[in-house]
Structure 1
Amino acid sequence: MKFVKYQLEISDIAAHLLTVKLSFKPVSNIHELLLPAWIPGSYMIRDFARNIVSISAADTSGPLRLQQLDKQRWQLHCTGRTVTVTYQVYAYDISVRAAYIDDEVAVLNPASLCLSVSALEQLPHRLHISKPKSRVTKNWRLASALARAEGTDFLGFGEYQAANYQLLIDSPVLAGHFQLAQFSIDGIEHYLLVTGDNLTDLPRFSRDVEKICRQQIKTFGSLPADLTSYWFLLWVTEDGYGGLEHLNSTLLLCSRFDLPAPYAAEIDDNYQNLLALCSHEYFHTWWVKRLKPACFTQYQLTAEQYTPQLWLYEGFTSYYDDLALVRAGLIDSQSYVKTLEKTISRVTRNPSDTQQSLTDSSFTAWTKFYKQDENAVNAVVSYYAKGALLALCLDAWLRDHNSSLDDVVRRLWQQYLPSGTPDNALQTVLNQMGFTELATLTDSWLNQAASLPLAQWIPALGLELTLRPMQHADDFGGVSTDTLPFIGAQTKLVNGLLQLTQVYCDGNAHQAGLMTGDQLLALDGRKITQSSLPQLLKRYRHGSSLTLHFYRKDRLLQSNLTLNSALQQVAVLTVAGQAKCDNWLWRTEQD
């Protein structure tokens, strides 16, 4: 047997259990079996092996000794005969990173299910998936970017194959009830799969996604040479959102209300967010899945793998995802500017903007960005959002000097594929292109914990940026005539009381000595509720000092809350130069 084979059976839908049989021919007396601790593209230790319920091994001579070495590794003692390792996996993770089973859908990431076999990772790997034997799965189909083995029908259960283990775990599988649309670009078939029975306009959705794909291809000049097909695997739930990139596919999670409604002519905010998600993950086809940090050319999946470059890969992708929508003619410039206001405000609203650099945010993603707590607004910068703003600054500077970020992206793609980018790749390319001043600026923008000079540079894009005070927790930009004071804290209703969940450093609540977890009771002797607090605040002038009563754990306390003016933190963008703005937001596709 010159390959490694997995037989996967959904053995108990109600209990969310999978049975996996791993078979291989040993090449030594001892092999190590390992399940990844994380999945590429999501930089957090997931410990997938914790979902293994039971495991055993045998060959034709009988049971084999299988010793667990740590949380994710087993040592297998072999006799030379073909080995079968049988194990059960619990699959009930509603995310795009692991595995999930119910009576409507099975979402299967091989990274969370398929044990690797030491010394055999480079052999061909086969994955045989049996159709569940249940009345509710009678009409189920199966989709994956994995190559079908001979005898397996299109969208059929059966055997799929990958050239090696890394390719196997980079190919999610989705089975269940779904609709499928298809379009071709440059001879490459693209598939859009939507699970469930939804009231949606799938042909329109497919047309819109095709426009986005064509626009992203224009950014790079062509599709990757090794791409043979591409799959958008969209898992529709009651409430969910997210995506994860793969070599020839993406697994997406959304709410059914994110899908375009039948007969709806306009693109609402929910649908725009879904299109941006599709755009983001498709951009990763080039930017992460093929060109990536040099240290990621060989993933080490047993522990954290650090890079200071996530701002480049996720930040630039976040810049181009929304930009593709307006360039493809799906949204107008006004809608895009509104979206850009939100992106800017997500960064500038938080004290963390001047507390953590982009390179540090990238490097510490494992323990900070992916494990945010109540202090995140004060300490953790999003390398997605601020990385996108860095891209915006770069694009503005470059366009003011007769170039564009598109030129830089293509240069990086051509120069560093397939070896991967070193940590200073962007600065190197800028210097090579003659932009030494920008290379020096970029180095400081990346490594200093400071606000980006957006207002200075985006006039080159025809925009003018001003900042105004934040007025409430959901204030993410735009012109406002309201003068509502902001208490400087996020709140939620807990057991009927308004509880502080995040307190902004140097904000009004912080200056009053309030802490996360405090429960607000009364303001100047008047009861505080979720709806009454903003109404009460409207009745006081800035600078007013109010008596606040609150619980801290089981103690009743009192403090003076002064309504000082909030810092200038929320973005307002205006188009000051229409010609420059139009030149930047050039459109290649029109409705």
Structure 2
Amino acid sequence: MPKRTRLVNMISYSITPLDPKAHLFAVSLNIQSPQQPFQYLRLPNWIPGSYLIRDFAKHLSKLEAQDSQGNRLEVEVLDKSNWRIANHGKALQISYQVYAWDLSVRGAHFDESHGFFNGTSMFIEVVGQQDQVCRVEIAQTEFCRQQRWKVATGMPAQKTDKNGFGLYQAENYAALIDYPVEMGTFKEISFEACGIPHRMVITGVFDCDYERLTADLIKICETEIKLFKDPPPMQDYLFQVMVTGSDYGGLEHRNSTALICSRNDLPYHGMEKATDGYLQFLELCSHEYFHSWNVKRIQPKAYQLADLQTPVYTTQLWWFEGVTSYYDSLILLRAGVIDQPTYLSILAKQMTRVYRMPGRFKQSVADSSWLTWTKFYQQDENAPNAIISYYTKGSLIALALDLMIREQNNNQKSLDDVLLFLWHNFGKKQIGLEDGQIEEICSEVAGMDLSEFFASSLFATDDIDFANLFAKFGIDFKLRPAGSLADQGGSDSDAKDNYLANALGANVVDSGNNSIKLTHVWHNQAAYHAGLSAADEIIAINGLRMQNKAQLEQLMTRNKPGANLSCHYFRRDELRATELSLTEAPADRVVLSINETKTELNWLPV
């Protein structure tokens, strides 16, 4: 007698792109063997990899249920994202609609140009049956057919047409919500990295040198695969890219990533030197691809099968995001996509983002990770003064660890060895990491006691002594004042003779109202002492109208520290006046340069 399959208890979903003008997907859910006397349903409140309660259920409407005989059943609303249905053992058919107008990598978006969704926005979970196989039908409507849409997803296909519409299957609910879906008239490139099939689909209005992009992606992916010294943990991989005017971001998944970028970030035909935007895009690809190991497999124990209804807390994001942020640009260097001076410039700009944050002295990186749900993911205008990013300072902790391990072991070991230890002993075995465990492993692999380093850099708010750390590797580290309002650090060429542009002590933007709007005000600098606050609009200084940042920068460079300027500004709709006393710009821009005469150990690839 043949063995029975799990198809009897399979959970089946159907997704229909219902109305692009109303941005509505229609979803049906079939439960063959519901629990009795009540079947509970719920939708996640957050998506793995993005630590903010997003209340996806707010986009659901017309939630209805009936049994296999067509009898309508009452859906009891228990709270914002949980429901209960009384039943008598008969199969249940659930239907609902999802409003999809979130153009990001975290939610769902649908209009005449394309459709995209994450499973956390679309698939209601059948409580008690999370381990059942989930089947998904992505239906092709007449609109999709007329527009010649295609489907791209990492979800395993079962029976699909040439355009990708049809049946897919996930091994369980956790897998189901980890396969985002893109549909539309996207452009596609395909390549192999270490023998593994890869694809990138790009949606939007853009120009692109596909040949150059493909060549760079192969280098990046193969470098990361070889770093972990094993076949990659996925049989294929998909980059899903949404192109807009100015967006940026990414979210990792088990065999894919959802990315969003500016059309100016893509390479164009005839581009000789890679633009800053293109390098930023390649860093993003490198970062999210790296997460295939460091987050999706090497994981905090707290995030393994996490309850997506409520926040889950850990101090470990310094490793999972910070270390990944350290490697994303380093991989570009190792892959030969950029040279050493370019890498040092990128690294210096990343370090500058830390040194410009007064909040680094008020919040530890461990606390930044623990409180990511509120302080990091819900930043306000005071964020630079109050918090630090576990991405940016976490990457500096990773950098310092790499240099310290290399120095201790005469370059015979590095942070790579910690990664490999975690991969072989935790990631491949699907063992989650407890808080504090990674720090102990770093000491063990390095062969040195790193407890004091972690106490000061991770759990306290001390700056890391990079001048001494870099010296052993022939790198000069220095801090200088800003040379312009746009100065991000990275090289001395950005600096001017007078470092006065940032002496205002505030971030400013052109408001569009022929004025200058303050977005952030740094404590204990000129704007702060003048009583200026975020959202104030400066309209005149010394009796002259200030219409844009260029005028402000010109005025600042023509005055010396200590100069007193009269300032008129609007706070809301109220005209106010103050005196602005310029202060000397702080030395908070990082410059890294190679000192050939001092090299004792090699850190950068030759």
1:423 aligned residue: 435
Q: CA deviation at 1:135?
A: 6.7
Give the Cα–Cα distance (whole angstroms) in 1 for the partners of residues 599 and 116 of structure 2. Answer: 45
Name the structure 2 match of 1:86: 95
Distance 2:368 2:517 in 1: 28
Change (3 A) 1:563 1:196: closer
Using the alignment, how far apart are the partners of 1:163 and 1:10 within structure 2? 24
Question: How many Å separate the matches in 1 of 2:127 and 2:571?
Answer: 54
Structure-2 change in CA distance of 1:578 and 1:265 (3 Å): farther
State whether structure 2 residue 522 is matched by structure 1 residue 504. Answer: yes
Is this contact kept in 2: 1:399–1:460, CA < 8 A? no
CA pair 154-214 structure 1, distance change in 2 beyond 3 A: farther
AA aligned to 2:247 is G
State the distance in 2 between where 1:256 and 1:101 align. Answer: 20
SS across alignment from 1:584 = coil
Q: CA separation in 2, counterparts of 1:2 and 1:48? A: 26
Pair 1:481-2:482 in alignment: no
Aligned partners of 2:203 and 2:185: how far apart in 1? 6
Q: CA deviation digits over 1:140-189, x for unaligned, max 9?
A: 1111111111x324651001000000000001111111222222234421
Q: Out of 408-417 and 326-335, give the one that drifted further.
A: 408-417
> Matched residues in 2 for 1:35 and 1:58: separation?
19
Name which of 555, 560, 563 aligns with 1:541.
560
**Does the residue aligned with 2:238 lie in a helix, a strand or coil?**
strand
Which is worse superposed, 196-205 or 57-66?
196-205
Query: Which one of the candidate residues 124, 129, 133 is aligned to 2:138?
Result: 129
SS of residue paired to 2:250? strand
Q: Output the CA distance in 2 between the equivalents of 1:296 and 1:166.
A: 12
Write the distance in 1 (CA, Å) between the matches of 2:261 and 2:155: 23
Distance 1:232 1:89 in 2: 24
The separation in 2 between residues aligned to 1:562 and 1:27, in whole angstroms, is 71
Q: Summarize deviations over 1:303-322 as a string: whole Å, max 9, x none.
A: 11111111110000011001
Q: Does the 8 Å CA contact 2:405/2:446 hold for their aligned counterparts?
A: no
| Contact 1:427–1:443 (8 Å) recurs in 2 | no
| One-letter amino acid matched to 2:450 | L
The 5 A counterparts of 1:503-522 are: 503-522=521-540
In structure 2, the CA distance between the partners of 1:434 and 1:313, relative to structure 1 (3 Å rule), is: closer
Please give the per-residue CA displacement for 1:37-57, whole angstroms capped at 9, x wherever unaligned.
010001111111000121100
Once the two structures are superposed, residues 1-25 of structure 1 have per-residue CA deviations (whole angstroms, 9 ceiling, x without a partner) of 3110101101111111110000012
In 2, Cα distance between the equivalents of 1:321 and 1:92?
30
The correspondence of residues 54-93 of structure 1 with structure 2, limited to 5 A, is: 54-59=62-67, 60-93=69-102
SS of 2:605's partner is coil
| 2:172 is the counterpart of 1:160 | no
Q: Does 1:490 align with 2:512?
A: no
- Residues 102-181 of structure 1: pairs in structure 2 closer than 5 A: 102-134=111-143, 137-149=146-158, 151-153=159-161, 155-181=163-189
Shift in Å at residue 454 of structure 1?
1.9
- Aligned ranges for residues 11-410 of structure 1 at < 5 Å? 11-25=18-32, 26-59=34-67, 60-134=69-143, 137-149=146-158, 151-153=159-161, 155-196=163-204, 198-225=206-233, 227-401=234-408, 402=410, 403-410=413-420
Return closer, same or farther for 1:148/1:526 CA change in 2, 3 Å cut-off: same
Secondary structure (helix, strand or coil) at the match of 1:436 reads: coil
Distance in 1 (CA, whole Å) between partners of 2:199 and 2:597 is 38
1:223-279 Cα deviation digits (max 9, x unpaired): 344x22111111222332111000111111122221110232321111111111110
Q: Residue deviations 1:482-507, cap 9 Å, x none?
A: 41422001123333222222110111
Query: How far is the alpha carbon of 1:525 from its aligned partner?
Result: 2.8
How many angstroms apart in 1 are the aligned matches of 2:209 and 2:60? 40
5+ residue gaps, structure 2, are: 1-7
Instruction: Give the Cα separation in 2 of the matches to 1:473 and 1:166.
Output: 46
2-structure distance, mates of 1:434, 1:249: 33
Partner of 1:444: 456
Does the 8 Å CA contact 2:472/2:601 hold for their aligned counterparts? no
Q: Deviations over 1:296-343 (max 9, x none)?
A: 111210011111111110000011001111111111111111111110
Distance of 2:334 and 2:597 partners within structure 1: 15
Task: Quickly say closer, same or farther: Cα 1:492–1:78, change in 2 above 3 A.
Answer: same
Query: One-letter code of the match for 2:287?
Result: H
1:517–1:581 CA distance, 2 compared to 1 (3 A) = farther
Conservation of the 8 A alpha-carbon contact between 2:499 and 2:585 = no
**Contact 2:471-2:598 within 8 A present in 1 as well:** no
Residues 387-415 of structure 1: per-residue CA shift (max 9 Å, x gap) = 11111111111121222111121112222
Measure, in 2, the Cα distance between the counterparts of 1:578 and 1:91. Answer: 58
Q: Does the C-alpha gap of structure 1 residues 500 and 136 become closer, same or farther in structure 2, counting only changes over 3 Å? A: farther
* CA drift at 1:196: 4.2
Q: C-alpha separation between the residues in 2 aligned to 1:568 and 1:507?
A: 13
Aligned residue for 1:325, secondary structure, equals: helix
**2:205, 2:263 within 8 Å by CA — same for their partners in 1?**
no
Q: How many residues align?
A: 585
- What is the alpha-carbon root mean square deviation over aligned residues? 1.9
Residue by residue, what CA displacement relative to the aligned partner does 1:515-547 show, whole Å, maximum 9, x if unpaired? 223332332333323232122222212222223
**Maintained 8 Å contact 2:63/2:95:** yes
Higher mean displacement: 157-166 or 21-30:
21-30
1:15 is paired with a residue whose SS is coil
**AA in 2 matched with 1:519:** E
- Any conservation in 2 of the 1:484–1:537 contact (CA below 8 Å)? no
Superimposed CA distance per residue, residues 550-586 of structure 1 (whole angstroms, 9 cap, x where no aligned partner): 3334444333322121222111111114795993222
| Mapping for residues 547-586 of structure 1, pairs under 5 Å | 547-577=566-596, 580=599, 583-586=602-605
- Contact conserved, 2:407 with 2:601, CA < 8 A, in 1? no
CA shift at 1:138, angstroms? 3.5
CA distance in structure 1 between the partners assigned to 2:533 and 2:71 by the alignment? 62
Worse-superposed segment, 356-365 or 129-138: 129-138
**Aligned partners of 1:178 and 1:197 also within 8 Å:** no
Q: CA deviation at 1:471?
A: 4.5
Shift of 1:440: 2.6
Structure 1 runs not aligned, ≥5 long: none
Contact 1:349–1:470 (Cα < 8 Å) also in 2: no
User: What is the TM-score normalised by the length of structure 2?
Assistant: 0.93
What is the aligned-residue identity percentage? 38
The Cα shift of 1:212 comes to 0.2
TM superposition shift of 1:86: 0.5
Shift of 1:61: 4.6
- Summarize the Cα distance change of 1:16–1:439 in structure 2 as closer, same or farther, 3 Å threshold: same
Q: Which amino acid aligns with 1:145?
A: G
| Paired residue type of 1:410 | L
